[in-house]
Structure 1
Amino acid sequence: DSLLFDAVVSCTINLTEDTYKGTASHETSQWLVLSCVAVVTDKLESVTVMNISGHTSGQPRKTDGHAVSKNIVPILYKKDLDDEATTFLQHYFPEALEKPMAVPIADIAKGMGLEIIQGNRITDDFSVFGEIYFNAGKATIYDLFKVSETTIDVKRGTILVDAYTFWERNLGCVKNTIAHEVYHWYKHRLYAAIKHVLYGQDFVACRCPSNMAYPQKDDEWSDIQRMEWQANNMAPRILMPYRTFRMKVDELLQTYDYENSPIKPAILTSVAEELREFYGVSRQSVLIRMMETG
């Protein structure tokens, strides 16, 4: 991964001049902007200064992306989410932006170099649906009946999905969990590297909790809360992209002659069920997406 950033530095420059009267010297200070590119994996590989220019106080800086926190967590708002999902799919599965289709999120994960491990419990209380490992390490897993506990080695880019995500929920929840963790990898893996480089902290796994609390309106968000909110909201938008999802909804409403029907609630129930089967997601996720897209 490449991280482009500007560093504003203050330089003290020593100037020396030889004249027939002798040697004269003095110091001057200058603020400069160093435009840099850092190559990052699970550690800082290299930093290269690409350009140096003068800095003026109050000078606005241009950016090609979203604002980020000091730990390189993107700052996204609700209005950004559908565009963000579109950008993701343009990279990894552009077909889903052309016509309605189920998004093969497990295949996308494999194409990104991620490994998915299922069939075990991650916790003994089903408090976590899934997690992704930003660094190689060890993971504690449990058998399906929580009788035995095992520690396994996991490589960087491993996704663990709790077995109960399927048994206690449904296949749609599994797909949503994988999409959640895939987005963590897509957008948040630099966070783990930055935490290690700047603070010497090992941030191994990013979890998909079954119940996540978010700050009140005027409270400050932590990096973890921000990342979980983003992944929670991005997963269904990746699985049901806005434009083609609307196309499929309109197609089904026309099939059922929704506008002229006296039983509109029953038709909406049938449409939601067909959408659930078509996209392979949960019924709750479909209903929320229908409300979001109007």
Structure 2
Amino acid sequence: MAVNRSFTEYVAKTFDNQFWAVTEQYLHENMDSLDLELYRIHKAGEPEIAEIKVEHVWVDDLPEMKIQFDVALSVIFEIPEADYHYDNSEEKKIWIMVRCRGDLACSLQDFEIYDVSGYNGKNRTKNPMDDSLVPFIPYEKLDEVANEFLKEYYPEALKITPYGQPPVWVDPNVLTERLGLTIQTQCIREDTSVFGQLYFIDTDTEMYDVNTECNVPVHIDGKTIVVDPKMFLLRNLGSVNNTIVHECVHWVKHRKVFELEKLYNTTASYISCEVVGGAASAIARKSTEFMEKQANQLTPRIQMPADSFRAKTIEYISKFMRETNARHTVDVMEKVITALVTNFGVSRQAAKIRLVELDFEEAIGTYTYLDGHYVKPHSFRKGSIKVNQTFSLSSQDAAIQRFMNAELRALTENGDYLFIDNHFVYNAPLYVERDANGKLDLTGYARSHMDECCLVFDMSITSKVDNTYHTACFLNREPSDITFEIKYHNGFENAPQERQVAMRKKQQAEAMEIRRKMTDDPEQCMKLILDWREMKYTDLGDTIDRDPKTISRTVKGETAPKVETAALICFGLNLPPVISEKLMAVLGCPLNPMNPNHQWINEALHVKYPEPLWAIQEYLSQYGVEI
């Protein structure tokens, strides 16, 4: 198992003799100016060094493979008594700063100490690196670093092209050629768990052969990117283009990490990028996690430079809104993403994430895949939800949360919130409408004002995926091996418009009035409800495809109804929960909370009851419940 490689540890062990030599010279030259207070001796003799310890190393990233580093040394030395009449000595400790430089291309064989001075607690690094020689890149500097990368290796990609002209995309083949790298496409592992490997030096290794179905010896030349064409980062976070540019970032930014590994381990030859975001090579786990995070952050910024990507996004939004007479940006965001994907040569998911990073939050509500379908695009007030929150959840997660969370259950108990297109939406005309087939749907207003009418849920990832990918996964919700835990965000203050709340309260009052008039007599209840719905037994029979006489006999108690039949009647009448619960009871068909089928029927009675019967049956059938 790989251990964390420490440049500090390497420096301390390798250059110990040099540090002793310069420290002895420094003490000899500066003893009088150290201003030491001596208590036990009368006259200071020649100091003798007892211990030198490397306390810290600050590394400054220089061009090519050169580095400059400041080494803070703690020095313990003993000062003997110079007057032979006394036999005392005194121990002292000072700190000094040793400034060094060297070239990793020659394994620091040219190591040089060019300055020694007292340590004042400061260092002079301009481009700092961590102890594994991974450069520090603050989040707010990522776009700047990406632009510097492009200025050096692909400057034309920074150009903002005129209106109507496509942007200059970063062709990975051109980029690798400019970096002096070659691309080799072949299967790496049988389980396709590795999507790319960057080989720094000539290497003899083994890779999976699809013809023989076993690993076979292969020779890989140095400066080669090996890409498995079947593998996509997390299967939905990037394409082959992304993978190649990702490896190019490793080559430019992380060669010094590899050279440090070689100082420890002469057999090291490559960096391997796995599906879960770690690294399978012998390079230290901590280093690779840091490198992967940087590569994942820089790659999309290189492929989609902020200025040109933003300019084309604004252009496409304007173009598609004009062509489709759209009222809201979210109505054209899928078209915009498709155009960006085509013109920048990136994946749909990468484009979506980049849009959100550049404050086009309308992109968050696009391409959300739940319950076997894509949820319709939606948007919300800027900043109204966090990156780990969502308005969208699967029907199974919705049922689990209603069962477990009392606050959510209270909000949905009387039908105030319905579960429509994978959202809990406030049940009011401004937010809910029927489509051409009579099925409930969110209105256009609701889809562009989700923060006003829909409930919010917190998300966390439960599968074993590196934190690097959490933000991307939260934004995408695409089909993948990622599993989420969804929890109702208790206390979130959404605010439906007052008029809509008033209308909903009027509906509730009407339902409660019917409920108060219901007795324990099934016939009385059914007559009351049919009159309220302005229906007859024949109308109900047509709706639920049952003989009206059979329904009548059931109500009169001449036949014992099944729970499914009683629920069918409730669904056919689109009864609010407060009424359906009473009718199920008087028909002698209470729901058993321990019966899974009954649980799903209860769920539909609370959050799907206004839907046409066929839509409710479709909803229940995915969980094996037939009514």
Please give the TM-score of this superposition, normalised by the length of structure 1.
Answer: 0.80
1:192 is matched with which residue?
Answer: 258
Q: Deviations over 1:22-60 (max 9, x none)?
A: xxxxx998754332221112733422333333323xx21
Aligned residue in 1 for 2:133: 72
Does residue 39 (structure 1) correspond to residue 111 (structure 2)? The answer is: no
Q: Which residue of 1 aligns with 2:249?
A: 183
CA contact (8 A) 1:180 1:208 kept: no
1:93 lines up with 2:154 in the alignment: yes
The worse-fitting range, judged by mean Cα deviation, of 177-186 and 140-149 is 140-149
CA distance in 2 between counterparts of 1:250 and 1:146 reads: 51
- What residue in structure 2 maps to residue 138 of structure 1? 204
Residue of structure 2 aligned with 1:288, choices 335, 353, 373: 353
Q: Which amino acid in 1 is paired with 2:72?
A: V
- Structure 2 distance, partners of 1:91, 1:117, is 24
Structure 2 unpaired stretches of 5+? 1-64, 78-90, 161-166, 280-284, 360-627
Which moves more between the two structures, 122-131 or 253-262? 253-262
Matches within 5 A, 1:263-274: 264-274=329-339
Give the match for residue 442 of structure 2: none
**Structure 1 residues 191 and 117 mapped into 2: Cα distance closer, same or farther (>3 Å)?**
same
1:229 maps onto 2:293 in alignment: yes
CA contact (8 A) 2:127 2:136 kept: no
Determine the C-alpha separation between the residues in 2 that align with 1:155 and 1:213: 23
What secondary structure does 1:222 align onto? helix
Displacement of 1:273 after TM fit? Answer: 0.6
Match for residue 276 of structure 1? Answer: 341
DSSP 3-state at the match of 1:41: helix
Q: Is the 8 A contact 2:203 2:269 kept in 1?
A: yes
Query: In the alignment, residue 243 of structure 1 is paired with which amino acid?
Result: D
Q: Quick check: which one's strand share is greater? A: 1
The AA in structure 2 aligned to 1:292 is E
Question: 1:218 aligns to what?
Answer: none
Q: Which moved more, 1:27-36 or 1:243-252?
A: 27-36
Change in CA separation of 1:227 and 1:42 when aligned onto 2, cut-off 3 Å:
farther
Shift of 1:146: 6.0
In the alignment, residue 226 of structure 1 is paired with which amino acid? F
Name the SS for the 2:312 alignment partner. helix
Following superposition, the deviation at residue 283 of structure 1 comes to: 0.9
Residue pair 2:150, 2:302 contacting (<8 A) in 1 also: yes
2:169 counterpart SS class? coil
One-letter code of the match for 2:195? F
* Contact 1:137-1:204 at 8 Å conserved across structures: yes
- Secondary structure at 1:6 match in 2: strand
| TM superposition shift of 1:77 | 3.8
Closer, same or farther in 2 for the Cα pair 1:263/1:40, shift >3 Å?
same
Whichever residue aligns with residue 65 of structure 1, its letter is N
Residue 19 of structure 1: aligned partner: none
CA distance 1:159–1:49, change in 2 (3 Å): same
Q: Does structure 2 conserve the Cα–Cα contact (< 8 Å) formed by 1:42 and 1:193? A: no
Which residue identity is paired with 1:239? Q
In the other structure, the counterpart of 2:401 is: none
Structure 1 residues 1-294: aligned runs within 5 Å: 1-9=65-73, 31-41=95-105, 43-56=107-120, 59-66=121-128, 68-99=129-160, 100-118=167-185, 120-144=186-210, 147-165=213-231, 173-197=239-263, 199-200=264-265, 202-212=267-277, 222-257=286-321, 261-262=326-327, 264-294=329-359
CA distance in 2, matches of 1:86, 1:98: 11
What percent identity do the matched residue pairs reach?
31
- Whichever of the two has the greater Rg, that structure is 2
Aligned-partner Cα distance in 2 for 1:142–1:11: 54
Indicate if the aligned counterparts of 1:36 and 1:50 stay in contact, CA closer than 8 A: yes
- Amino acid corresponding to residue 284 of structure 1 in structure 2: Q
Query: C-alpha distance in 1, partners of 2:196/2:293?
Result: 15
The separation in 2 between residues aligned to 1:229 and 1:29, in whole angstroms, is 41
| Distance (whole Å) between structure 1 residues aligned to residue 216 and residue 265 of structure 2 | 28
Which structure has more relative contact order (CA 8 Å, sep 6+)? It is 1
Normalising by structure 2, report the TM-score: 0.40
Please report the RMSD computed on the Cα atoms of aligned residues, expressed in angstroms: 3.2
**What is the CA–CA distance in structure 1 between the aligned matches of 2:342 and 2:357, rounded to whole Å?**
19
Contact 1:195 / 1:202 at 8 angstroms: preserved in 2? no
Q: Which moved more, 1:102-111 or 1:234-243?
A: 102-111
Supply the AA of the counterpart residue of 1:229.
Answer: K
Helix, strand or coil at the partner of 1:51 = strand
Distance apart, 1:203 and its partner CA: 3.1
1:78 maps to amino acid: Y
* Structure 1 residue ranges without an equivalent (≥5): 14-26, 215-220
Q: Is the 8 A contact 1:130 1:177 kept in 2?
A: yes
**Would the aligned equivalents of 1:144 and 1:163 in 2 still touch at CA under 8 Å?**
no
CA distance in 2, matches of 1:139, 1:200: 16
Q: Is the 8 A contact 1:122 1:141 kept in 2?
A: yes
SS of aligned partner of 2:243: helix
